[in-house]
Structure 1
Amino acid sequence: METVQKEGKVGIRVDPEVSTAYFHRQQRVVVLGEMMARDPTIAMGVLAFELSNASLDRAFEECERNADIAQLSPREFAESFEKVEYNSTRNVQAYYMEAHETLRRVGLDNPNAWQCMVTAQGHIEPSTRSEDDAVANSLATGHFGRYEQEYAKRNM
């Protein structure tokens, strides 16, 4: 949170036109899809993730600069961006593991929203364990496409 505060305020906006969530770097606002925002068990984890992305704004900027210098392909750029975003995955996993008992007690427990899972033995573990897992998940879900398209447009 300290990093976010140093770089300027971050707003939060609920948007009925958006189905997911994202941090809009130029506007410094976290945008939550209305359906996500309606369920606090989802919204909390997603909001924590996007606020973590806000704290990584400088790393994302550096990623963009390096991509321009190296003239990366859209796929390579998306991969490097996803590797920065993996830090947010690790952050929210740590937050959840620390707070899950409290979240459970107040009825807000949802490991998936914090990128965690409950094993068959009842243990809480990260559902994404590495940068490579994060990249593979992003490819499988289509998350990569957004980064590839933005980069391709910027470099036309």
Structure 2
Amino acid sequence: MWAKLVPGKAVATPVISYMLNKAFTYLVNYWRTEDMESVKAELLKMLPHVQAVFDAVDWDNIKEQSAALDAWLWQLRDAVEEAEDSLDELDYHRLKEEVKARDEQEASGSVSKLKGKLIRKLTKHVPKNGMLKRLKESVEGLHKALLV
């Protein structure tokens, strides 16, 4: 069953690493992240261990190998999916704001265009705090899943 759910086990940690770096880019730009730096360091430090587990697991017989390992891998998968969903939400919001700004710029006059550019530069499409909070919580959930 796991073989079907994790077909690219060799790319599991690079994908997690990419998502973490992307998540921390958002968090650094829009959220006070002093308390998150240690979490980021720990998560990145754990990735080789996660890859070692992925390489060692017999995916066809995971339940027979270890019920605890099977449960942990499901928790990890859920945490990764939550982080991915929160990143998708932030990306969607950013793209929506960019399209809105472009449409407003095309519809307005030259003075309004200049004003719009200035406002966009100052606001930088700041995502809503609820989205950032969800992202922070999903990163913390991933951290918790990896600590088990």
TM (normalized to structure 1)? 0.30
Q: Which has the higher strand share?
A: 1
Q: Which has the higher helix share?
A: 2
Compare relative contact order (CA 8 Å, sep 6+) and give the higher one, 1 or 2: 2
TM (normalized to structure 2)? 0.31
Higher radius of gyration, 1 or 2: 2
